[in-house]
Structure 1
Amino acid sequence: MKKLIILVLLFNLISCKKEIEKTEPKRIITKPHAKKLSYNEQLEAIKNGTSKDSVLSNDIQFINDSLLKGKFKLDISKYETENEKKNCFPIRLPKKMFNEFYNEGFNNLGDLNGDKKDDFVFVLHALNYCEEGDSYYFTDNSIPRILTDSNCCHPSSILNIGDINEDGQAEIAEYYSSCASRFKSITIYSLKNNKWKEIKTIPFALNDEYYIDRDFKKLFKKVSKNNLKYFEIIDIDAEGKIIASWKKLRIE
């Protein structure tokens, strides 16, 4: 009889425990979150991991001291402020790659912004992972760079086509190449309040008759104030002749 009573008590105890386990919420053990590094902390870690034969793509001291060598001081602070907001981190590049860019030198465009000083253009690699291609920079820091999605940029690809709208600032043309295709383009820009305003992109097919850096004065002609004529080359026919025509463009 005593054994029976003990068995009944044990059964009730086990049943009660199972019922409690069903009704009690399970405790979730969480691990403490790792501290999220700030932009500057992550940037410092990238710098510390850079080898001696490499340099960060936005290392302005290296660019100014080793590449520009005191000819002028490039200021990229306004671009870097935007990059930080977007968490765009620099790229590690071999130093010799920077030298390859610099070996192309500068292209003298004359006075672009009406300050009576010659403005030169040169090319640098993307500053960070968010940028898809090279950029054109000018020796006057008040003139904004032109950002591209191409890795086939050259100083000779920026052309001064004259002050078409007669506002005291020259318009420019950017010859664009995607590296591979024979179909290129030319984009006309006008400088407005220290910003480049894109006016029009014109198709340009590679051909043996006109070369953009040699013949651009034949391809662009100012007609009158605000009015430009340009020679649009869209293709080459089966006989090798260019398919082209003169078009008009108004620049306010």
Structure 2
Amino acid sequence: MSCERKIEEKHIEERTGTKKLFLEPINQLSYEWQLVFIKNGTSKDSVLSNDIQFINDSILKGKFKLDISKYEIESRKKECYPIWLRKKLFDEFYNEGYNNLGDLNGDNKTDSVFVLHALNYCEEGDSYYFTDNSIPRILTDSNCCHPSNIINIGDIDEDGKSEIAEYYSSCASRYKAITIYSLKKSKWKEIKSFSFVLNDKYFIDKDFKKLFRKTSKNHLEYYEISDVNMEGDLVAAWEKIKIE
């Protein structure tokens, strides 16, 4: 073994506190070893974005145990590393609790939704998670997600599972969106996305459900507000959707 390799192994041992030998060049660390360095660099006032114990204990407060293992498998495949986050960030922005949605997947149990920060650098925004680990999360590219942004709009296709609508905001723009999802084969299928422009007549926090109406099995109408003209009138119309 070369002197250079011995120096590299000693360096790894000192940084990680482990006796396990590292047999790759220091500039070609494996994904697992990179994780070791990232974890060791976490300060007392910070936490890794995928620290499931912190999430379950401090964010979800033991009311529900989130399982992120299937998302972590994908992270490892893509070599997506977790993010250092200040603990107070969770308290300020990701501690809004749960939004009760009723029974989404037809198992006669109440399902709720909550929001978490991106688990790693490959994810661009927050994600919506559900208190049933069999219901997949909804990944977004926005950092303006809130539990109240997800609405149960009823079982439109009458398959025993409820469809949902997501209010999407990019934080700054007055142009928002409403996206409808249907749970198909344990995956969320995006059905349709519509415009929602901020206006003085409909407010998303109290009028969300007024924008949807079921007309028959598999059929839904949504009131799309695409703009507001110079006179302040809504540029809007009822649009038809078929869920298949």
Question: TM-score when scaled to structure 2?
Answer: 0.88
Write out per-residue CA displacement over residues 135-186 of structure 1, whole angstroms, 9 at most, x where no aligned residue: 0000100000000000000101001010000000000001000111100001
1:103: Cα distance to partner?
Answer: 2.8
Write out per-residue CA displacement over residues 28-85 of structure 1, whole angstroms, 9 at most, x where no aligned residue: xxx9882422111110100100100000000001101112121010000000000011
Pairing 1:55–2:47 present: yes
Q: How does 1:21-60 map to 2 (within 5 A)?
A: 34-35=25-26, 36-60=28-52
Q: Distance in 2 between matches of 1:216 and 1:226?
A: 20
For 1:166, the equivalent position in structure 2 comes to 158
For 1:125, the equivalent position in structure 2 comes to 117
Contact persistence 1:233–1:243 (CA under 8 A): yes
Secondary structure at 1:149 match in 2: coil
Q: How many pairs were matched up?
A: 222
Q: Distance in 2 between matches of 1:63 and 1:189?
A: 26
Secondary structure at 1:109 match in 2: strand
Q: Distance in 2 between matches of 1:197 and 1:143?
A: 12
For 1:21, the equivalent position in structure 2 comes to none
**Structure 2 unmatched runs, 5+:** 6-23
Select between 179-188 and 36-45 the one with higher mean Cα deviation.
36-45
Q: Distance in 1 between matches of 2:95 and 2:146?
A: 11
Question: TM-score when scaled to structure 1?
Answer: 0.86
For 1:221, the equivalent position in structure 2 comes to 213
* Aligned partner (choices 173, 191, 196) of residue 204 of structure 1: 196
1:102: Cα distance to partner?
Answer: 3.8
Write out per-residue CA displacement over residues 168-214 of structure 1, whole angstroms, 9 at most, x where no aligned residue: 00000010001111000011000001100000110110111111231
Contact persistence 1:135–1:148 (CA under 8 A): yes
**Which residue identity does 1:200 align to in structure 2?**
K
Secondary structure at 2:102 match in 1: coil
Pairing 1:188–2:152 present: no
For 1:74, the equivalent position in structure 2 comes to 66
* Aligned partner (choices 116, 124, 128) of residue 108 of structure 2: 116
**Which residue identity does 2:127 align to in structure 1?**
S
Pairing 1:149–2:141 present: yes
For 2:128, the equivalent position in structure 1 comes to 136
**Which residue identity does 2:87 align to in structure 1?**
K
**Which residue identity does 1:92 align to in structure 2?**
W
Secondary structure at 1:159 match in 2: strand
Contact persistence 2:60–2:97 (CA under 8 A): no
**Which residue identity does 1:220 align to in structure 2?**
F
Structure 1 runs, 4 residues or longer, greater than 3 Å off: none
